[in-house]
Structure 1
């Protein structure tokens, strides 16, 4: 990536980072659903990278992390609208899904500093 493009990208890029505390019996089902959602997000315009990560150990309470890098805030907003429509048409309720599995989340959109 040329230096000027890298600086512009860093200034406008947005990172959706969601951390989850999933009970051990729920991890496999939860991770499978997160991978499915990440596949949809990766197909959206402006998505430059997406991943689902699991904790290998340590003192933290979060054991699953999802990470999506977007070109800019407009890409985040457009993808959010697409996901809401997809959830409505498929009948998937993310909050109910997390409650059923006993998953607690900390969700946020971040910018590079």
Structure 2
């Protein structure tokens, strides 16, 4: 039996970093949508205050194997383009809380 899995990432982004950050997120999600096992995604934002805002991305995957394969595809894309997410986070002052979640069965 396969169980759906959700990738939920929360970012606190300074206002001046918003455009560059969202460009990278949208590029990544274009790749994710083309991966086997992708079901749906959500890109959500909330103003935090006058200096920063919160972004949450949620991607629903068919199973653990699908999310692992997608992660490998994203890493390959980053390598081929020379993009380093951790460097961008530090450079732009972005705070991230990243993780995989599964449904709680009642």
Range class of TM-score, shorter chain:
0.7 to 0.9
Structure having the larger proportion of residues in strand: 2
- Answer yes or no: is 1:28 the counterpart of 2:19: yes
Report what 1:43 is aligned to: 34
Report what 2:96 is aligned to: 105
Q: 1:73 aligns with which of 53, 64, 77?
A: 64
Matches within 5 A, 1:1-20: 12-20=3-11
TM-score (normalizing by structure 1): 0.82
Considering only CA atoms, is the larger Rg found in Structure 1 or Structure 2? 1
Unaligned runs of 5+ in 1: 1-7
- Dislocated runs of 4+, deviation >4 Å: none
User: Which secondary structure state, in structure 2, belongs to the residue aligned with residue 92 of structure 1?
Assistant: coil
User: Which secondary structure state, in structure 2, belongs to the residue aligned with residue 50 of structure 1?
Assistant: strand
User: Which secondary structure state, in structure 1, belongs to the residue aligned with residue 72 of structure 2?
Assistant: helix
2:19 and 2:80 map into 1 onto residues whose CA distance is 25
Report what 2:76 is aligned to: 85
- Corresponding pairs, count: 102
- Partners of 2:15 and 2:53 within 8 A in 1: no
Root-mean-square deviation (Å): 1.9
TM-score (normalizing by structure 2): 0.87
Farther off after superposition, 103-112 or 76-85? 76-85
2:54 and 2:23 map into 1 onto residues whose CA distance is 14
Structure having the larger proportion of residues in helix: 1
1:13 and 1:103 map into 2 onto residues whose CA distance is 29
Q: Deviations over 1:71-98 (max 9, x none)?
A: 0000011111111111111111111111
